[in-house]
Structure 1
Amino acid sequence: MTRCRLCGSAALASVVDLGATPPCESFLAADRLDQPEPAYPLHLRVCTDCWLAQIPPLITPEETFQEYAYFSSYSTSWVEHARTFVTDAVRRVGLGPDAFVVEVASNDGYLLKHVVDRGIRCLGIEPSVNVGAAARDAGVPTLTEFLSPQTASAVRAEHGPADLVVANNVYAHIPDVVGFTEGLRALVADDGWVSIEVQHLLTLIEENQYDTIYHEHFQYYTVASAARALASGGLTLVDVELLPTHGGSIRLWARPDEVAGEPSRRVAEVLDREKAAGLQELSGYAEFSARVAKVRRDLLRFLIDVAERGETVVGYGAPGKGNTLLNHCGIRPDLLAYTVDRNPYKHGRFTPGTRIPVLPPERIAADRPDYVLVLPWNLRDELVEQLSFVHEWGGRLVFPIPELSIVEVKP
């Protein structure tokens, strides 16, 4: 990568180099285990002109999202997060019976089903054929397409402009930031609203959340860099909310330039926090690579010590972030016998690169391991409750991020 994808600058500085890994959602079927598996460099850099953090676009969204392994509805807390958002958005935007809501990257309809339940007209735009089909089966109107200015114009011509456009956990997933933002502007009414949720680079750096760096995430936003990205398509950032999701996210509220007005005080407050953390100068990124290396050493030391004591460790969850961690640490089945996941799509498959089997969750109670390594650490509260049964045999939970912690669960 030689130039910033937002501003075109060649002034790109290294933040952390995680080596080469396969795409994080490319789970392997058993009949593929003896076949070659492509791996791509995973090197995060930051533009020192516009301060957008980014990785090279070595894989395309088409390669990732035609058949996708992630279904949002399997996370109870995430479905509840979506329900709360819809309730608040209806009040904030003033969505009445004649309103129209569009969600980009709508996945299996986990969010729009709450819009449907309210009798509000809506449409999902979801590129993955399999999860889009699941959304339609659940009664959520869904178009199987990637968002582009052309797709947005066609949707607007057929359905009319959207009073609210939602783009949660997708703004990092598109290499053409400007074209995608122009698509959002083409969808939204001239007096409408755009709501975007994306992981906050501030918490990624502060909380050592390096496993959320993977090939599906092409860029990593501060509020400052997100505002510049929105401006590239004719949208103005008017408000921001700090969210606990994904270890720390930002919800960006934007409007067309012509009606935006002045941004809220919260925007200025978060911008001040980012500046104080040094994220608009290289000093804010200087120690990150060393802290990432410590996570790797600590986790490997723990797993090796457990193996030498003859104790057992299995995993819980098979999220994309988990595959960044497993590959960066070089963890194989000799140190982690298997992991489990609630998503049946992944059962009987193997994690990319590390070839760890993915099994149904019931396997943990059957095998009674000494430790359970929790890979979706961002769902910590939800999973401590779900996994409380491991106390029955004295099992403990292990969280690798932001630093290694071992938790004794209570009934």
Structure 2
Amino acid sequence: MTTCRLCGSSNLAGVLDLGATPPCERFLTEEMLGEPEITYPLHLRICADCRLAQIPPLITPEETFTEYAYFSSYSTSWVRHARAYVDDAVERLRPSFVVEVASNDGYLLRHVVERGIRCLGIEPSANVGRAAKEAGVPTRTAFLGPETGAAVRAEHGPADLVVANNVYAHVPDVVGFTEGLRALVADDGWVSIEVQHLLTLVELNQYDTIYHEHFQYYTVASARRALATGGLALVDVELLPTHGGSIRLWARPEDAAGEPSDRVVEVLDREKAAGLHDMSGYVEFADRVATLRRDLLRFLVDAAAKGRTVVGYGAPGKGNTLLNHCGIRPDLLRYTVDRNPYKHGRYTPGVRIPILPPERIALDRPDYVLVLPWNLREEITGQLAYVREWGGRLVFPIPALEVV
């Protein structure tokens, strides 16, 4: 990558080089174990001009999202989060037509359907989109760009509310995607975007959320610049605990926007104080990641030397960044489990750890369970409460190694 995908600058500075890994959602079948795997560089860079954090667009969205392994509804806390969002947005905005981009399996729009509000999901993955349709959520299989946005508007009319949760980082053509958002939304409508906050990613060592599906990582400052490329203005921001720390951006077409809220100013000030509006805030990030890697490996090696059994919980994309960066293989992590049946009987990319149903943990009674989706700590701690019955303990690798 030689130029910034937002501003076109060639002034890119390396921040964190994680080597080369396979795509994080390309889970392997038994038959694929004898085949080679392609790996791609995973190197986070910052544009010194517009400050957008980004990795090279080495994998196209079509390669990742045409057939996708992630179904949002398998996370009960995420479904609750979506319901709370819909309750609040409908109460405040009273929309008559809602469009969600990257609507997955209908985890959010099903709450809109329940309220009798007209809605449409735009979902590129045919398999998860099919699950949404089966759940009664109208869904169009497509990637969003200016043309798709214009076509949907022409067919269905402009949307009072356009929702784009956990997708703004997944699009290499951020300008075209933003133009698509503007095409969808009414001239006096609202666009709501949830995306991980680069501030918490850096401050809390959440480096495992850097993977090839995520092409860029946003501060409020860089997100505001990105929105402006499509004629959208940032008017408000909320700080959320999801994914270890996210931002909910509220934007409107420029002519309807008005002045940004005090919360926008406050978060911009926090980012500036943390050194994220220049390069100073990134200086020690790579050193902290190296320490985290050594601590986790030391724990796993010591556990193996003592004859202790360690298994994993969850097979999220972020877990595959962690496993591959640390070089953790089945000799240190016997297997991992996941609630998504799509992944059962498959293997994690790169390090090839078997993925089994969650019931396997109770059968094997391991000494330790390494929680890979650490961002769902409260939910998973409750799900794994039974592990204490035999004296087992949970291990959380981020923001620092913790055995509980």
Could you say whether these structures have the same fold, taking a TM-score greater than 0.5 normalized by the shorter chain as the test? yes
Letter matched to residue 164 of structure 1: L
Per-residue Cα deviation, 1:106-155 (whole angstroms, up to 9, x for no partner): 00000000000000000000000100000000000000000011011110
Per-residue Cα deviation, 1:259-290 (whole angstroms, up to 9, x for no partner): 10000000000000000000011110000000
Q: 1:314 aligns with which of 298, 306, 311?
A: 311
Letter matched to residue 105 of structure 1: A
Q: Is it true that 1:218 corresponds to 2:200 in the alignment?
A: no
Q: Is it true that 1:288 corresponds to 2:285 in the alignment?
A: yes
Give the drift of 1:358. Answer: 0.2
Q: Is the Cα–Cα contact under 8 Å of residues 48 and 280 in structure 1 kept in the other structure?
A: no
Q: Is the Cα–Cα contact under 8 Å of residues 22 and 37 in structure 1 kept in the other structure?
A: yes
- Which residue number in structure 2 is paired with residue 59 of structure 1? 59
- 1:143-162 equivalences under 5 Å are 143-162=140-159
Q: Secondary structure of 1:238's partner?
A: strand
Q: Secondary structure of 2:259's partner?
A: coil
- Which residue number in structure 1 is paired with residue 32 of structure 2? 32
Q: 1:277 aligns with which of 252, 270, 274?
A: 274
- Which residue number in structure 2 is paired with residue 190 of structure 1? 187
Letter matched to residue 7 of structure 1: C
Q: Is it true that 1:388 corresponds to 2:385 in the alignment?
A: yes
- Which residue number in structure 2 is paired with residue 200 of structure 1? 197
Give the drift of 1:91. Answer: 1.6
Per-residue Cα deviation, 1:283-315 (whole angstroms, up to 9, x for no partner): 100000000001110000000000000010000
Q: Is it true that 1:265 corresponds to 2:230 in the alignment?
A: no
- Which residue number in structure 2 is paired with residue 164 of structure 1? 161
Per-residue Cα deviation, 1:206-252 (whole angstroms, up to 9, x for no partner): 00000000000000000000000000000000000000000000000
- Which residue number in structure 2 is paired with residue 375 of structure 1? 372
Give the drift of 1:348. Answer: 0.1
- 1:122-133 equivalences under 5 Å are 122-133=119-130
Distance in 2, matches of 1:403 and 1:307, equals 20
Letter matched to residue 52 of structure 1: L
TM-score computed with the length of structure 1 as normaliser:
0.98
Distance in 2, matches of 1:337 and 1:129, equals 33
Distance in 2, matches of 1:93 and 1:6, equals 31
Distance in 2, matches of 1:117 and 1:280, equals 42
Distance in 2, matches of 1:277 and 1:319, equals 29
- 1:36-55 equivalences under 5 Å are 36-55=36-55
Give the drift of 1:92. Answer: 2.0
- Which residue number in structure 2 is paired with residue 362 of structure 1? 359
- 1:129-144 equivalences under 5 Å are 129-144=126-141
Distance in 1, matches of 2:150 and 2:229, equals 18
Q: Secondary structure of 1:33's partner?
A: helix
Letter matched to residue 119 of structure 1: G
Letter matched to residue 72 of structure 1: S
Gaps of 5+ in 2: none
Distance in 1, matches of 2:206 and 2:388, equals 28
Distance in 2, matches of 1:334 and 1:163, equals 53
Letter matched to residue 80 of structure 1: R
Letter matched to residue 114 of structure 2: D
Distance in 2, matches of 1:336 and 1:216, equals 24
Give the drift of 1:94. Answer: 2.2
Gaps of 5+ in 1: none
Letter matched to residue 67 of structure 1: E
Distance in 1, matches of 2:195 and 2:18, equals 21
Give the drift of 1:337. Answer: 0.4
Distance in 1, matches of 2:126 and 2:98, equals 21
Per-residue Cα deviation, 1:335-370 (whole angstroms, up to 9, x for no partner): 000000000000000000010000000000000000
Which stretches of structure 1, 4 residues or more, deviate above 2 A after TM superposition?
none
Q: 2:346 aligns with which of 345, 349, 371?
A: 349
Distance in 1, matches of 2:361 and 2:194, equals 33
Distance in 2, matches of 1:300 and 1:133, equals 40
Q: Secondary structure of 2:34's partner?
A: coil
Give the drift of 1:81. Answer: 0.1
Q: Secondary structure of 2:84's partner?
A: helix
Letter matched to residue 54 of structure 2: Q
Between the aligned residues of both structures, percent identity stands at 81
Q: Is it true that 1:107 corresponds to 2:104 in the alignment?
A: yes
Per-residue Cα deviation, 1:13-37 (whole angstroms, up to 9, x for no partner): 1110000000000000000000010
Letter matched to residue 291 of structure 2: K
Q: What is the number of residues matched between the two proteins?
A: 404
Q: Secondary structure of 2:322's partner?
A: helix
- Which residue number in structure 2 is paired with residue 18 of structure 1? 18
Per-residue Cα deviation, 1:41-100 (whole angstroms, up to 9, x for no partner): 0000000111000000000000000000000000000000000000000122122xxx00
Per-residue Cα deviation, 1:180-228 (whole angstroms, up to 9, x for no partner): 0000000000000000000000000000000000000000000000000
